[in-house]
Amino acid sequence: MAGTTLLDIKGVETYYGNIRALNGVNVQVNQGEIVALIGANGAGKSTLMMTIFGAPRARAGTITFAGTDITQMPTHEIARLRVAQSPEGRRIFPRMTVMENLQMGASLDNLKHYEEDVEKVFALFPRLKERIGQRGGTLSGGEQQMLSIGRALMARPKLLLLDEPSLGLAPLIVKQIFDAIRELNKSQGLTVFLVEQNAFGALKLATRGYVMVNGNVTMSGTGKELLANPEVRAAYLEGGHH
Amino acid sequence: MAATVSPERDVVVPPIQRAFREGLYAGAIALGLFVLFIGLRTDQNISNELILVQRWLLLALVVIATAVGRFLYVGYAQPAMERAKAEKAKAPAVVAEPGFVRQNFNKIGIVVLLLYPIAMVLAFGFQGSLKWVDNFGIQILIYVMLAWGLNIVVGLAGLLDLGYVAFYAVGAYAYALLGTHFGLSFWILLPAAGCMAAFWGVMLGFPVLRLRGDYLAIVTLAFGEIIRLVIINWREVTNGSAGISGIPKVSFFGLMSFNVSDPNYIAKVLHIAQSGAYYKIFLYYLILALCFLTAFVTIRLRRLPVGRAWEALREDEIACRSLGINTTTTKLTAFATGAMFGGFAGSFFAARQGFVSPESFVFLESAIILAIVVLGGMGSLGGIAVAALVMIGGTEILRELGFLKVVFGPDFTPELYRMLLFGMAMVIVMLWKPRGFVGSREPTAFLKERRAVSGSFTKEGHG
């Protein structure tokens, strides 16, 4: 199945009130790829992430997932098509334990594969296993990020959306998380669409990348191409990468 | 010493001096607060003229008591508490094994509740037990049930509902109207009243789905008032403010009756002496069973996907939706389930009183129920039951304090101080235990052993 388009975003425009946040964005994510979307603060990266999930809704353009038009679909039904997200700010359930958070991720299948999948998550993030009975809100930032990704994985997604998984984390933890994403992609063939400010790490990890400026996609190419591109280097990489 | 207003100053000043200062401040504040409340009182003299009664001595006593109290607290009680705390911190942290009572709190509670009417009958006889079983037992248990029902909406799903009493009213009127007009039995109307209330829960739920927090609270408050006003004004059906009387009693599962005139009257059937206490004791066990049902359903639901979804919804709605949870149906089920238990309690209330009127369903009732949930610790059944016991039992016990008349004079009516004490208790509990009596939330999923999550990790005011 490698190579077929899984997520197709065509000419999407999103508004916050009268302010246009996305200006006709075109992005494709193919089966088995890791695609990175990089850009500065306020470029519209997270808005695109949220628009895929229908909150806020695109005012123009279409979003197609695995052949289904999801542009107008309610958020929870989009999730049921096996699109999982680790949203910006992680959004774990702070007063529920690690285990309960993971259970919430598996609620789509009513915990059918729970035992099996929870072991997979613990194999990927052994730290979570140590914290199993602890409340989500008492975890460190890195652990919360791991939990957020783990929770998303519990739904057995076809497409994993990650919104800034490296935000506010120590370089060592960022490396752990990026390694885990790479591992998921390699061993399970999981398709990942990732939004990042950490352009260097994201582009090194990604098969392909897009650069977003002011609600427009201005550049695209393979991860290596973009890393070598002088404009990208000047805007996002020079001055010390993370 | 130019920088007199530095925050460190309090540390430098010796405690006694600081206590003296704080005492003076407290006295001044008390004087300002109470000069019009206590110092002056309006009254009527014999010829019905308005006169001012001056009570400077009483005012002085209150002010002095406040000042001295603050002085003692800051000067002696506070340092002593801090010393104790420091010593506790120095001592090696021993995880104290919770005592027998604490460990088996729920079991002991259930046994006490089951034996309570029997103990009362043994202690006071059938006639003497009436007051204790009815005014205390049944009254408190109604509030326990209401608070547990509201707990589903507020404590679990995190939807602040200020109009919960509306569902209580729906249940009560459903039984009162259908029972008096069609002569249907309580045992048919109990589930019917629950369904009716659940229906109205969904009706309320639909328009407020988009609302959260304060906005939701206002709309639910309005809903509670709408139901009450409909009851008052729809005279043809509800008989308005006059209420409905002659509501039939609950029968003993259709086998025996509690009406003296009925041929199946319980005392005739069982060949025992006539007494009104049987009915009260029966009602006590009935409401107790309804409470247990509420608790059982709540506990079970929490472990089911829908209960987990409620709790997740309380924490983060967006995350819920992105995990494939339909937040619309989740919210509606919470409203409906909570409302259903309110309806059960309402129909029981109507059967017990034999009379319903809009007077019983004012906003204050909603506020009291919500206060019980918050004081008990949202989401904690045990804590809520204790809070109901303290709040409702406490206000009932005020009626028993006739002996205080000896101290305060014959005009003293302790019942009048009900709301004052209620408010005071609430302030004290919130200062002392901001997360309610039981602030810890028991996780629903375990790896090996159950371990309650300490209240210190919970956000204040949440379970």
What share of chain B in percent tops pLDDT 70?
Answer: 88
**Mean pLDDT for chain A overall:** 90
Nearest C-alpha neighbor of B367 from the set B185, B108, B141, B168: B168
Considering the domain architecture, whether residues A187 and A202 belong to the same structural domain is answered as yes
Q: What is the Cα–Cα distance from A182 to A160, expressed in whole angstroms?
A: 12
| B97 DSSP assignment | P
Considering the domain architecture, whether residues B135 and B256 belong to the same structural domain is answered as yes
Q: Does the distance separating the beta carbons of B318 and A87 come in below 8 Å?
A: yes
What share of chain B in percent tops pLDDT 90?
Answer: 35
Q: What is the Cα–Cα distance from A121 to A198, expressed in whole angstroms?
A: 24
Considering the domain architecture, whether residues A165 and A59 belong to the same structural domain is answered as yes
Higher pLDDT, A160 or B457: A160
Considering the domain architecture, whether residues A105 and A66 belong to the same structural domain is answered as no
- Give the H/E segment covering residue A116: helix A114-124
Considering the domain architecture, whether residues A61 and A105 belong to the same structural domain is answered as no
Domain with A96, as residue range(s), is 91-156
Q: Does the distance separating the beta carbons of A110 and B322 come in below 8 Å?
A: no
Q: First and final CA of chain A: distance in angstroms? A: 34
Evaluated on CA atoms B174, B176, B180, B184, the torsion sign reads positive
B305 touches chain A (CB under 8 A): yes
B186 and B346 in contact (C-beta within 8 Å)? no
Residue of B nearest to A137 (CA): B457
Higher pLDDT, A193 or B443: A193
Candidates A90, A93, A138: best to mutate against B (most CBs of B within 10 A) is A93
Considering the domain architecture, whether residues A114 and A224 belong to the same structural domain is answered as no
Neighbours of A73 (CB within 10 A): 18
Q: What is the Cα–Cα distance from B81 to B315, expressed in whole angstroms?
A: 36
Residue partners of A128: CB distance under 8 A and separation at least 6: A98, A102, A121, A122, A143, A146, A147, A150
Considering the domain architecture, whether residues A152 and A167 belong to the same structural domain is answered as no
Considering the domain architecture, whether residues A127 and A67 belong to the same structural domain is answered as no
Considering the domain architecture, whether residues B55 and B197 belong to the same structural domain is answered as no
Alpha helices in B156-276 (DSSP H): 165-182, 186-208, 213-233, 235-238, 266-270
ipTM: 0.85
Which chain A residues are within 8 Å of B316, Cβ to Cβ? 91-93
Q: How confident is the model at residue B370 (pLDDT cuts 50, 70, 90)?
A: very high
Q: How confident is the model at residue A242 (pLDDT cuts 50, 70, 90)?
A: very low
Q: How confident is the model at residue B172 (pLDDT cuts 50, 70, 90)?
A: very high
Q: Alpha-carbon Rg of chain A, whole angstroms?
A: 17
How do residues B302-320 score in pLDDT, each as one tens digit?
888 889 899 999 888 888 9
Residue of A nearest to B315 (CA): A93
Q: What is the Cα–Cα distance from B110 to A142, expressed in whole angstroms?
A: 44
Q: Does the distance separating the beta carbons of B305 and A111 come in below 8 Å?
A: yes
Q: How confident is the model at residue A182 (pLDDT cuts 50, 70, 90)?
A: very high
- Does the pLDDT of residue B11 top 60, yes or no? no
Neighbours of B354 (CB within 10 A): 13
Considering the domain architecture, whether residues A69 and A166 belong to the same structural domain is answered as yes
The reported pTM is: 0.82
Please name the member of B308, B324, B444 whose beta carbon is closest to the beta carbon of A76. Answer: B324
Give CA separation, B392 vs A55, B127, B387, in Å.
45, 22, 8
Neighbours of B394 (CB within 10 A): 14
Residue partners of B166: CB distance under 8 A and separation at least 6: B200, B204, B223, B224, B226, B227, B228, B342, B361, B366
Query: Is B432 a domain residue?
Result: no
How do residues A16-50 score in pLDDT, each as one tens digit?
999 999 999 999 999 999 999 998 888 899 999 99
Chain length of chain B: 463
Considering the domain architecture, whether residues B316 and B279 belong to the same structural domain is answered as yes
Considering the domain architecture, whether residues A6 and A117 belong to the same structural domain is answered as no
- Does the pLDDT of residue A118 top 60, yes or no? yes
How do residues B336-350 score in pLDDT, each as one tens digit?
999 999 999 999 999
Q: How confident is the model at residue B459 (pLDDT cuts 50, 70, 90)?
A: very low
Considering the domain architecture, whether residues A126 and A170 belong to the same structural domain is answered as no
Considering the domain architecture, whether residues A25 and A136 belong to the same structural domain is answered as no
Domain boundary among B41, B63, B79: B79
Which chain B residues are within 8 Å of A57, Cβ to Cβ? none
The verdict on whether omega for the bond into residue A230 sits within 30 degrees of 0, i.e. cis, is: no
Q: How confident is the model at residue B163 (pLDDT cuts 50, 70, 90)?
A: very high
Helices and strands of chain B, counted as H and E runs: 21, 4
Query: Is B2 a domain residue?
Result: no
Neighbours of A147 (CB within 10 A): 26
Domain with B48, as residue range(s), is 13-79
Q: How confident is the model at residue A114 (pLDDT cuts 50, 70, 90)?
A: confident
| A138 DSSP assignment | G
- Does the pLDDT of residue B451 top 50, yes or no? no
Give CA separation, B121 vs A105, B116, B279, B289, in Å.
53, 9, 13, 20
CATH at residue B137: 1.10.3470
Q: What are phi and psi of B447, to 5 degrees?
A: -90, -60
Query: Is B261 a domain residue?
Result: yes
A154 and A105 in contact (C-beta within 8 Å)? yes
> How many structural domains does chain B have?
2
Give the closest-approach CA distance of A48 to chain B in angstroms.
14
**pLDDT recorded at residue B445:** 62
Candidates B318, B323, B453: best to mutate against A (most CBs of A within 10 A) is B323
